[in-house]
Amino acid sequence: MTVDVRRYVQGCEGCAMSKDPRHLPAGKLLPLPVPSRPWSHLGVDFVTDLPISREYTCIFIVVDRFSKSCRLLPLKGPPTALETAELIFNHVFRYFGIPEDIVSDRGPQFVSRVWRAFLTRLGVAIRLSSGYHPQTNGQTERKIQEISRYLRTFCHSHQNSWSQYLGWAEYAQNSLRQPSTGLTPFQCVLGYQPPLFPWSAEPSDVLAVDHWFR
């Protein structure tokens, strides 16, 4: 019955002539290039309007589309385009080299002349997601969902402490085995898997250290 009703409505001559569609026609979708090595093709985005935690209210997320590795950088607020460029150079480029391209949404930092000039000088291709089509940067959007779920789980009763868990969240995300590669991001980038939280749960003689680990 549902199929018959849908077919009947779609075939209504009066509706076809008098009702206009409320969405833009779909354009041709082009696949992103497939990376061949770690940290050559990146996705970037911001998580904003978080509860204040040690003066931080924002997270800058950088995702390697090859290994699914991520960098999570806490910020005191949305940065300018120049500050964003300095962040990605100091926390990503200096460790992994200059990438071939970067995918982002159309936020003000990423459509600015400063951002475009910075990456153009470095020879990095700029790829902006289509309007109302966040799937373009789907890996980063998915990573944001995973990080948000992690922080909600551990910080639901004390939301102003999320910045203290961000380093652990990054370590945990980079230790997860990825179905697409069969490896963890650590293994894919470093060639080995570091110990996963090698803590015996025995109390420490140093109270500050014991409190930090708990």
Distance separating alpha carbons of residues 203 and 121, to the nearest angstrom: 52
Tokens 């509706």 label which residue?
A: 15
Residue 74's SS3 state is strand
Residue 116's SS3 state is helix
Residue 125's pLDDT band, with cuts at 50, 70 and 90, is very high
Rounded to the nearest 10°, the torsion over CA 88, 93, 99, 104 is -10
* Residue closest to 98 by CA, chosen among 128, 125, 124: 124
Regarding beta strands 101-104 and 125-128, do their DSSP bridges make them parallel or antiparallel, or are they unpaired? Answer: parallel
**Are 58 and 50 in contact, with CB atoms under 8 Å apart?**
yes
Distance separating alpha carbons of residues 39 and 170, to the nearest angstrom: 16
Q: Is the pLDDT of residue 143 over 70?
A: yes
Q: For 171-211, how does the pLDDT look when each residue is reduced to its tens digit (9 = 90+)?
A: 999 999 998 889 999 999 999 999 887 666 677 788 888 88
pLDDT for res 20: 67
Q: For 62-82, how does the pLDDT look when each residue is reduced to its tens digit (9 = 90+)?
A: 999 999 999 999 999 999 999
pLDDT for res 98: 96
Q: For 31-54, how does the pLDDT look when each residue is reduced to its tens digit (9 = 90+)?
A: 777 888 999 999 999 999 999 999
Which pTM does this prediction carry?
0.80
Q: Is the pLDDT of residue 170 over 90?
A: yes
Half-sphere exposure of 157 (CA within 13 A, CB side): 1
